[in-house]
Amino acid sequence: MAQSDTIPTNEPIVALSGFLDTYYVYDFNMTDSDLRQPFLFNHNRHNQINLNLGFIKVALMQSDYRANFALHAGTYSNDNYSAEPGVLKSIFEANIGISLNKKRNLWLDTGIFPSHIGFEAAVSSDNWTLTRSLLAESSPYFLTGAKLTYCPVDQLTITGLVLNGWQRIQRLQGNSLPAFGTQLVFQPSESIILNWSSFVGTDDPDSSRRMRYFNNFYGQFMVNDKIGFIGGFDIGTQQTAKESSDYVYWLSPIIIGKYNLSKSWKTALRLEYFQDENGVIIPKTSMNGFKTTGVSLNIDYSKSQNLLCRIEGRWLKSKDNLFYSKNRPSNVNFIIAASVALKFSEEVGK
């Protein structure tokens, strides 16, 4: 979803926030390596206590401008930022926003910011499930560029983006073409969110450029204070070769149901499917490519507003033997994951 850090005041406010997500995962495939699966980027270490994501963030907020800067560490940053050089790997967020009109409903933001794609973020406690869906792991968590955000009415947010590429801080060497994105968020009531996000660009150098077109759709519905649903669908296409009229595609439907057992206890059930038979996003290593169905169930306990304890069981089954295993590749993967996450935010000055 589009983010808004705007506070209606002429006095700048400085806020300090942070997040820590420690975790343990036992992968019953008993992988030889501590790295569980190559297509996952969160909670992806086997049989060890580790840090998935920790960051510290400073935010400056004023009615006409805003800025965010955050540094991070953890297995998420090691795995997901591996293509970025040097110190850039350590940047979780770095952006500046400027209000462009008197109503302050038109903003220009530039820098490194969270992706406009999907309903699952890098911060695990903001998501209904502990582990990320295959859909989320296969689309950008962060983007770099400029975005123009317009809110004509409270219920509608329209965003256009010019980007350095598909989840990149620096543009790919040899690629001179910027990427583009859009987002429409319609919230007719507090209990309903409807979203459409898109991406148009390439992840290749100019010499072998294959255009990629991607769409993400989701709806979030709270039936009442206890029951909620999210339904999502991703579909993307990419040229098979430069200037070719032939395209291959990938897709992923998902549904998540959440039930608030009490003020402190919650649970969520996820059903998902991911198909990438031509290896556009997940490299093809078998005859049928990546065709995987998943089910997960998590239970959450929140001792306080800032602290969240979670445990999740997740089962994946693929058409082919795609999952790492100690003895031989398997078409089934089952894990138990646990996490303790702490998030805080404090105003530190004006």
Predicted pLDDT of residue 275: 97
For residue 122, the one-letter residue type is A
Q: What is the phi/psi pair of residue 90, to 5°?
A: -90, -5
Q: What percent of the chain has pLDDT over 90?
A: 85
pLDDT in tens, 52-62: 999 999 999 99
Looking up tokens 């400056």 gives 60
Encode pLDDT of 303-349 as tens digits: 898 999 999 999 999 999 988 777 678 899 999 999 999 999 998 87
Domains of the chain, by residue range, sit at: 13-349
Cβ count near 336 (within 10 Å): 13
**Residue range 238-247: average pLDDT?**
97
SS (H, E, C) the chain: CCCCCCCCCCCCEEEEEEEEEEEEEEECCCCCCCECCCCCCCCCECCCEEEEEEEEEEEEECCCEEEEEEEEECHHHHHHCCCCCHHHHHEEEEEEEEECCCCCCEEEEEEEEECCCCCCCCCHHHCCCCCCCHHHHCCCCEEEEEEEEEEEECCEEEEEEEECCCCCCCCCCCCCCCEEEEEEEEEEECCEEEEEEEEEEECCCHHHCCEEEEEEEEEEEECCCCEEEEEEEEEEEEECCCCCCCEEEEEEEEEEEEEECCCCEEEEEEEEEEEECCCCCCCCCCCCCEEEEEEEEEEEECCCCCEEEEEEEEEEEECCCCECCCCCCECEEEEEEEEEEEEEEEEEEC
113 or 2, higher pLDDT: 113
Class of 13-349 in CATH:
mainly beta
Burial class from Cβ neighbours inside 10 Å (0-12, 13-18, 19+) for residue 303 reads exposed
β-bridge pairing 106-114 and 192-202: unpaired
Give the pLDDT confidence of 157-215 residue by residue, as tens digits: 999 999 999 999 999 999 999 999 999 999 999 999 999 999 999 999 999 999 999 99
| Total residues found in the chain within this entry | 350
Q: Are 99 and 65 in contact, with CB atoms under 8 Å apart?
A: yes
pTM value is: 0.92
Q: Residue 3 above 50 pLDDT?
A: no
Residue 282 sits at φ, ψ, to 5 deg, of -105, 115
Alpha carbon distance 2, 116 (integer Å): 6
